[in-house]
Structure formats: C-alpha cells, structure tokens
Amino acid sequence: MIVVATDDFELYHDVVDELRDRGVTFTTQTPSEALPERARVVIRSPEDDLTLPAGVDSVTATPEEARRAVEEAVSILRGGGGRTIVGVDPGTRPGIAVLHGDTVVSAFQVPLADAVETIRREIGDAPDPLVRVGDGARLQGSQLINDLDDVTVELVDETGTTPYLGTGARGMGDVLAAVNIARLSGEERESREIEPTAGELQRIKDRSREQSADGRTIDEGLARRVAAGELTVSEALATHRERDAEDGDEGENEIEDEKSREQPRSDSN
C-alpha cells in the first residue's frame, strides 16, 4: 500500500489528487505517526522526518514533482522498477507511451510539434532514459530522432505493433502501438537523414491546400523544408503568402515605373 506521510500541504493535495485519478489504494498520515503494517511505499517531502521500517521504500518529492512521485511509487508497488522507456508511434499526431519497467505510467497523443517537448518532460528526472521510435512514418520519425539528439534513441521495426481495436477502442491505436514499440529492441540511432519521395512531397502539398482557407498549395521547396522539420505546414503557407505579397508589390512598382516612362514630359516656361 502507498502511504502519503507529509506535512507539506501542497504536496499532500497534489499527490492525493494524482493517486485518486489513477484509482490507487492509499492512506495518509503525519510523518510522526507509525506506519501501518501494509505500508510498502511512502511519499514524503525532503523536509519530512520519519523512520522507515525494513521493506518500505521512500519516494521524496516537491509539489512540482507530484506526478513523477506517484508514478515512481506505483511502479515500486507493482514490482515494475527499472529503466524509463518511451515508445513513440510517429505520425502527424504521434502516440507516446511511458513505461517504468513493465508498467505503463503515462500515455499521450499530441501534435507532432509538441511531441519532443512531451517526451523531454516525461524523461526529465529519469537517470538513463531510452526512447524507441517506430520506423513506419519515415519523415515524422526522422524529425523526432534528430530533435532528440541528446537522448538515447532506438529505431524499432514497428511491423505488427498496431493491435486490432474492438468496439469502444477507436482512436487508441497509436497509443497502444507506442506501448508495443516501447517493449521492442531496436537499432540505436543518433540521427536519421531521409530524402523525401515525390509521393511524400505531394502529400505535404495536399495537406497545405487542405489547411489553407484560400486553396493555396505550397511549392516543392517549401514542401521539402516541411519534410525536413524546418517548417510546419502553417509556417510554410505563411511564407508562401509573404512571397506572393512581395512579388505583387514588385509587379505593381514595375507597372508604375513603366507608366511614368510613358507619360509625355511637359515643358515649363
């Protein structure tokens, strides 16, 4: 059982909220009280002074670390201690699963632009984290690998990682695939450079037209920058509009110059 034993009011409430959200059985007490016999893990603040009997683990945290503390305590309780591994099913909205040992402690599905920040937040306190990225969506996966340049990353063959989804499970496929990817060994990679195919560039152009309110389609140069992760589709569209505006201004200036040259010069006496 998990025991919350702290005099830190903020930590107490944040940890209790996290435990209730997960449906975990726990009890609370002051640090001066004797721990119950069923106690297995104690969550406390660095300032709480209490003596732990043999066989009881302690997780120390500040209020800002409440979620991390609960994840660690649950992992200990379930015997899932071990390395923090993040599985990623890449795409425009990657599925992300965070495992401590064999226990899934958190899962997300976020826009590609937010994926790296999400992963970094989840592994921030881990001593030796590992990120495993599926090899299915080549361009998005490469972007993630290149942006996680200071993290150990493995490229995983994701064949067969997406499970059959029964009634009521619609929309969970990418996250469940990420869990399976996290449990597969892969090839360690520091970077991944891929030349986009003509078909991939066309799909990016098609996305730009779909996202644009005026039916605008970006050119191949901008599509390549999107494929490389230098621009989002929205940023590429904005750049395309700016170029058109500049070209339009230049064209108008040329017309005005031409008109001025055609005007007859009036003599003044």
The whole-number pLDDT of residue 164 equals 87
Percent of the chain at pLDDT exceeding 90: 48
pLDDT in tens, 198-228: 888 898 999 899 999 888 999 989 988 888 7
The whole-number pLDDT of residue 269 equals 46
pLDDT in tens, 25-76: 899 999 999 999 889 999 999 999 888 888 899 999 999 999 889 988 887 8
CB atoms inside a 10 Å sphere around CB 2: 24
pLDDT in tens, 122-164: 888 777 899 999 998 888 899 899 999 889 999 999 999 988 8
pTM over 0.75: no
Of the two residues 108 and 250, the one the predictor is more confident about is: 108
User: What CATH class does 2-77 carry?
Assistant: alpha beta
Which contiguous run of DSSP H or E holds residue 256? helix 233-262
Measure Cα distances from 184 to 72, 83, 134, 176 in Å.
22, 14, 10, 13
Residue 193 pLDDT greater than 80, yes or no:
no
Q: Where are the domains of the chain?
A: 2-77, 84-188, 198-259
The whole-number pLDDT of residue 14 equals 96
**What is the distance between the alpha carbons of residues 147 and 120, in angstroms, rounded to a whole number?**
11
Q: Which CATH superfamily is domain 84-188 in?
A: YqgF/RNase H-like domain (3.30.420.140)
Give 164's DSSP letter: P
Report the Cα 8 to chain-centroid distance in Å: 31
Residue 115 pLDDT greater than 80, yes or no:
yes
